[in-house]
Amino acid sequence: MEEGKKLWVSSSPHIRSGLTTQKIMLDVLIALLPAFGVSIYVFGLPALLITIICVCTCVLTEYVIEVLKKKPITISDLSACVTGVLIAFNLPVQAPWWMCIIGSVFAIAIVKQLFGGIGHNFLNPALAGRAFLLASWPTRMTGTSFIPVDAMTEATPLGILKQGLDAPLPSNMDMFLGFPGVYGAIGEISAVALIIGGLYLIIRGIISWRIPTFYLLTVAIMAFAFGEDVIFQLCAGGLMLGAFFMATDYVSSPSTPIGQIIFAVGCGLLTMIIRKFGGYPEGVSYSILLMNCAAPLIQKYTQPRVYGKPKKKGEAVNEG
Amino acid sequence: MNQVTFKGGSHPPQFKELTKNKPVKVAEAPKEVVIPMSMHIGAPCKPLVKRNDHVYIGQKIGEEQGFVSVPIHASVSGTVKAVEERQHPNGNLVMSVIIENDGLDEFDPNIEVPPDYTTMEPQEIINHIKDYGIVGIGGATFPTHVKLTIPEDKTVDTVILNGAECEPYITCDDTLMQENPELVIQGLKIIMKAIGVDKGYIGIEDNKPEAISIMTDAASNEPNITVVPLKTKYPQGAEKQLITAVTGREVPSGGLPADAGVVVNNVGTAAQIAKSFNTGIPFYEKLVTVTGEAVSEPQTLSVRLGTPFQEAIDQAGGFKKEPGKIISGGPMMGVAQFTTEVPVIKSTSGILCFDEEQAQLPEPTDCIKCGKCVEVCPIRLQPFQMSAFALQNDWDECEALNVMDCIECGSCSFVCPAKRPLLSSFRTAKRSIAKRGKK
């Protein structure tokens, strides 16, 4: 070997998988495309504008704060884009531009960056942003929704149900498909589009099947127990968006298999309790946020048995 | 075929096609060999020769020190040029015997072919295994005679030969099983006789269908030996994962395979035992897969112990491009070398030569807590949590999260999308905790 030629030395392993944070986030964005398509189809240009404003604000906020904190710029990991799209998907179509900006800045600056940036937020930033807007401007967030086909109505399907309004409920099929005209936040109206995106993420191994499956299952069982229309409850509101894209946020959900199941069941129970007994017609956001707070504790108490450790105290490893 | 495996694990790219199914090439013996007095776990040997002494192949040149130690033999005939400290693939300077090869390949005239092992007592077999300098060549270099000496309070009923070869790139065990299945079987029978058990298994990953079929044929007349095809998944060849896959048992935390009633040996170790019992010649040469994108003619070579890496690489056609990283072993658990002067030792399974591009690892970014490391950990640890504590030197939390049970397979670091150096943080934690425990 030539003199002076240097060899790289490092601790094993010496190879790394091709998976990167950026690729994961790109997959999430791809998975959100069907729902995005439906929102553009149903709501048109305003939906596109809301999404663009939210995404740009999120990315810019992340950039500015990282510059201020003198930290490496991480906007290329696309996580801020995902947050932006998710905030937009949680907004009603008539949300004014400044609400888009305030929600996005709150999500990235306060919930994500203030706690240390990617991987350190204890809440889902997009949901926290939505909750912040909901608490600040409740009527603008829930009061009216848009039916492009025939008329304006005063409430979402869950709102009609909650307030006992004398308005026609959409059929379950309309709720499932989300078009040609169901009411709700721009990204949550089409259950089928969100399911397609969610399945894509599960097949790609980006999210675990446990959280969406047990979340939806719990809601279905609770709906049945409360004597509600199960399909309606599954397709209504932000449930599909929440179950596949919000509750599965890595940072704010447990990583242990049993922990994920407990987390998802908790989300499902809270969602239906809020829908049935709470002051709000919809409970997905708050139930996920509440379970986010419980996630570290769930994680702590659901650690799997380590290989070679006794199954129960005092028991031999290879018995039973 | 019944396919068995363990929980967890990952699927690193194989890269085995570079050398797979190429016949073994017997490398020319080098002009000079560097034989470290430590090629095993345990006390290093005391050199028995000095400068200008003449030695034969198979002549004992290092005297074992204590029970957990094995003698070391010359791998060429010639003259001792020096007894001095040289660079060892483990990263340290180690007392070594440097022999100038006279090219005559003369074997020690005192070598005798031992009697048939079937006529020997178990203890006699174990003594011979020690005298032949045999250690576990799968990586840990644990002296085989120690492994086969079962403590009185333990009962072993099963021997497993490890032919999983789950490390990417490396194909020497595959080649051995295809070319010398009879040696593997014979070695297994000698081991079974030495510890008095009648259940023997040979576990082979199913990405080696040729080896599985050849070994199955070779074992067809052996009612006590079963070839077990294993699912191709890293780290299938890790001792604990292999035991669980084959027997369904778990090795207790902090325990040895014998605590699960099992003794595991590499197929290469078994073949070496058979070779030495057939000829009386101690361990002096071994199969090494010289491979990687920087090597001209990747192949599995039969090389003398003590052959400098550079010599072995030259026998495989030399470098075809500038090497960026030289690894002793495979890419998942191998040790990166800073020089190609280090010698082939008893546990060298491969010499992996990466080019400049492969040598560089991506920069780590923040953990996104995706849980991929949790999914792949074959011990069911929480790598991302442990690493967060390890990076803060919080050894108590690391220990509470069972970092000492980490088998250092590297699956977590491999899958991590944020490219975090998880395993290296655990190595630091384990070392610090072990040191603390001794105080």
The pTM for the full model equals 0.90
Lowest-pLDDT range, A56-60, A135-139, B430-434? A135-139
Task: Answer yes or no: is pLDDT of A169 > 90.
Answer: no
Q: How confident is the model at residue A180 (pLDDT cuts 50, 70, 90)?
A: low
The pLDDT score that the predictor gives to residue B72 is 96
For the residues B363-378, what does the mean pLDDT come to? 93
CB A285 within 8 A of CB A134: yes
- Which residue does chain B place closest to A316, by CA atoms? B252
Whether residue B338 and residue A16 make contact (CB cut-off 8 A), yes or no, is: no
- pLDDT over 70 percentage in chain B: 99
For the residues B290-297, what does the mean pLDDT come to? 95
Task: Answer yes or no: is pLDDT of B59 > 60.
Answer: yes
Q: b/e map of B98-117 (b: 16 or more CB within 10 Å)?
A: bbbbeeeebbbeebeebeeb
Contacts of B250 in chain A (CB under 8 A): 307-308, 317-318
Query: Which comes out higher in pLDDT, residue B183 or B67?
Result: B183
For the residues B281-306, what does the mean pLDDT come to? 96
Amino acid residing at B2: N
The pLDDT score that the predictor gives to residue A152 is 45
Average pLDDT value over all residues in chain A: 87
Bridge partners (DSSP) of residue B97 are: B35, B83
- Which residue does chain A place closest to B243, by CA atoms? A308
Task: Answer yes or no: is pLDDT of B60 > 80.
Answer: yes
Asked if the C-beta of B422 comes within 8 angstroms of chain A's C-beta atoms, the answer is no
Q: Which two tokens stand for residue A290?
A: 């509440």
Query: Which comes out higher in pLDDT, residue A265 or A168?
Result: A265
**CA distance linking residue A85 with residue A71, whole number of Å:** 24
Average pLDDT value over all residues in chain B: 94
Task: Answer yes or no: is pLDDT of A7 > 60.
Answer: yes
For the residues A216-236, what does the mean pLDDT come to? 93
The pLDDT score that the predictor gives to residue B241 is 95
The pLDDT score that the predictor gives to residue A83 is 96
Task: Answer yes or no: is pLDDT of B102 > 60.
Answer: yes
Q: In B305-343, which ranges are E strands?
A: 323-328, 335-337
For the residues A20-26, what does the mean pLDDT come to? 96
Contacts of B374 in chain A (CB under 8 A): 255-256
Q: How confident is the model at residue A148 (pLDDT cuts 50, 70, 90)?
A: very low
pLDDT tens profile B180-217: 999 999 999 999 999 999 999 999 999 999 999 999 99
Q: How confident is the model at residue A145 (pLDDT cuts 50, 70, 90)?
A: very low
The pLDDT score that the predictor gives to residue A163 is 65
Task: Answer yes or no: is pLDDT of A319 > 80.
Answer: no
The pLDDT score that the predictor gives to residue B1 is 43
Q: What is the ipTM of this complex?
A: 0.90
Asked if the C-beta of B252 comes within 8 angstroms of chain A's C-beta atoms, the answer is yes
Whether residue B339 and residue A306 make contact (CB cut-off 8 A), yes or no, is: no
The pLDDT score that the predictor gives to residue A269 is 97
**CA distance linking residue A211 with residue A126, whole number of Å:** 18
**β pairing state of B25-26 and B350-355:** unpaired
Angstroms from B277 CA to nearest CA on chain A = 36
Query: Which comes out higher in pLDDT, residue B413 or A135?
Result: B413
Is the Cα torsion angle B382, B383, B385, B390 positive or negative in sign?
positive
The 3-state DSSP class for residue B205 equals strand
For the residues A251-258, what does the mean pLDDT come to? 92
Task: Answer yes or no: is pLDDT of B240 > 90.
Answer: yes
For the residues A8-33, what does the mean pLDDT come to? 95
For the residues B77-101, what does the mean pLDDT come to? 95
Distance in angstroms between the alpha carbons of the first and the last residue of chain A: 58
Task: Answer yes or no: is pLDDT of A167 > 80.
Answer: no
- Which residue does chain A place closest to B255, by CA atoms? A308
The pLDDT score that the predictor gives to residue A150 is 41
Task: Answer yes or no: is pLDDT of B362 > 50.
Answer: yes
Distance in angstroms between the alpha carbons of the first and the last residue of chain B: 51
The pLDDT score that the predictor gives to residue A318 is 63
Q: What residues 263-322 of chain B have any CB closer than 8 A to a CB of chain A?
A: 310, 322
Contacts of A10 in chain B (CB under 8 A): 325, 336, 361, 424
Which among B253, B354, B410 is the nearest to A306, CB-wise?
B253
Q: Which of B7, B250, B375, B424 to mutate to test the interface with A (most CBs of A within 10 A)?
A: B250
Task: Answer yes or no: is pLDDT of A84 > 80.
Answer: yes
For the residues A167-176, what does the mean pLDDT come to? 72
Lowest-pLDDT range, A2-16, A153-167, B182-196? A153-167
Quick check: bond before A13 cis, omega within 30? Answer: yes
Task: Answer yes or no: is pLDDT of A154 > 60.
Answer: no
DSSP A318: T
- Which residue does chain A place closest to B367, by CA atoms? A119
pLDDT tens profile B211-235: 999 999 999 999 999 999 999 999 9
Q: Which of A3, A5, A11 to mutate to test the interface with B (most CBs of B within 10 A)?
A: A11
The pLDDT score that the predictor gives to residue A157 is 72
Whether residue A10 and residue B378 make contact (CB cut-off 8 A), yes or no, is: no
The pLDDT score that the predictor gives to residue A43 is 87
**β pairing state of B262-266 and B158-163:** parallel
